[in-house]
Amino acid sequence: MISVARNEASAEFFDGTARGELLVRRCPRCSPLIAPNVPQCPACGSTELTWVPASGRATLVTWTVVPVPGGGHVVAGIVELAEGPWLHARIRGVAPEDLAEGIALGVGFERHEDGEAVPVFHA
Ligand SMILES: [Zn+2]
User: What is this structure's pTM?
Assistant: 0.88
Domain-located, residue 5 = no
Distance 39 CA to ligand 1 centre (A): 11
Give the separation between CA 123 and CA 111, rounded to whole angstroms.
19
Distance 44 CA to ligand 1 centre (A): 4
More confident residue, 4 or 41: 41
Distance 43 CA to ligand 1 centre (A): 5
Whether residue 50 contacts residue 25, with contact meaning beta carbons closer than 8 Å, is answered with yes
Domain-located, residue 111 = yes
Domain-located, residue 2 = no
Domain-located, residue 59 = yes
Domain-located, residue 28 = yes
Distance 20 CA to ligand 1 centre (A): 27
| Domain hosting residue 99, numbered range | 11-122
In the DSSP assignment, the letter for residue 16 is: H
Q: For the domain that residue 72 is a member of, what is the CATH number?
A: 2.40.50.840
Q: How many distinct structural domains can be found in the chain?
A: 1
Distance 52 CA to ligand 1 centre (A): 15
pLDDT in tens, 76-104: 999 999 999 999 999 999 999 999 999 99
